[in-house]
Amino acid sequence: MDQEQLAPVKHIEDAIEAILFAAGHPVTYAKLSAVLGLSEKDVKFFVEHMKEVRFPEKDPGSGLVLLSFPNSCQLATKEEYAPYIREALDIRRGGNLSNTSMEVLAVIAYNQPVTRSYIDEIRGVDSSYSVSSLLDKGLIEPVGRLEAPGRPVLYATTEKFLRVFGLSSLSELPVTESLSTAQKASAPEPGSEASDPQASQDEDKGPEETDS
């Protein structure tokens, strides 16, 4: 690529950087595409190039990182500088997830989409409060209904979940042996008739359903 070709590329990447910096939240590739007059495929190409060249993950010379998600991207600060940012901006640490909410979120993340009955079955206790809390925080969302009696709601993680935990996709979730063991013990193979968590609870309602 000669010098004449480099100039437009740098201009586009400068524009993307400026938009993301000013936004302070994830911006969709569709929005960037419309603003820059490029296809979404080209925008994703430029974003990935910026991640490699402008904001490499191991770059010690920058406090910023470029996060890319399936449908959007965001310019954010690196996690190691969070204590300085909180102190400088007087941000309190409130809002952390409880151990119970983290447990419910893990069940959803590794098994999605799932019903609340499925979550209750894995955990052995009622999870309605934690599910509601995660919905309020925007970390999970309804993605449909299970074709079973009562048509229970199916839940899955959101793009905000990926952003909060510093992931680009669900494939980057760490392997968790304990959760894998719980899955094998409690969850039948997807697609089988026994894979309907609602049906299994209807047939055998144990004492755990009365826990709160």
Selected from 3.40.50.2000, 1.10.10.60, 1.10.10.10, 3.40.50.620, the CATH number assigned to the domain covering 99-206 reads: 1.10.10.10
Domain positions in the chain are: 3-89, 99-206
Which pLDDT belongs to residue 94? 44
Which pLDDT belongs to residue 190? 41
Digitized pLDDT (tens) for each residue of the chain, 212 residues in all: 444 445 588 899 999 999 999 988 889 999 999 999 999 999 999 999 999 888 887 777 788 888 888 889 988 888 788 788 878 876 555 457 788 899 999 999 999 999 999 999 988 888 989 999 899 988 999 999 988 888 999 999 998 888 888 777 888 888 765 554 444 444 443 433 344 444 333 333 333 333 33
Which pLDDT belongs to residue 33? 95
Query: In sequence order, what DSSP letters do the residues of 192-211 get, joined into one string?
Result: SGGG-HHHHHHH---GGGG-
Measured in residues, the chain has a length of 212
CB of 75 closer than 8 Å to CB of 66: yes
Which pLDDT belongs to residue 36? 94
Selected from 3.90.600.10, 1.10.3720.10, 3.40.190.290, 1.10.10.10, the CATH number assigned to the domain covering 3-89 reads: 1.10.10.10
Report the chain's C-alpha Rg in angstroms: 21
Which pLDDT belongs to residue 14? 94
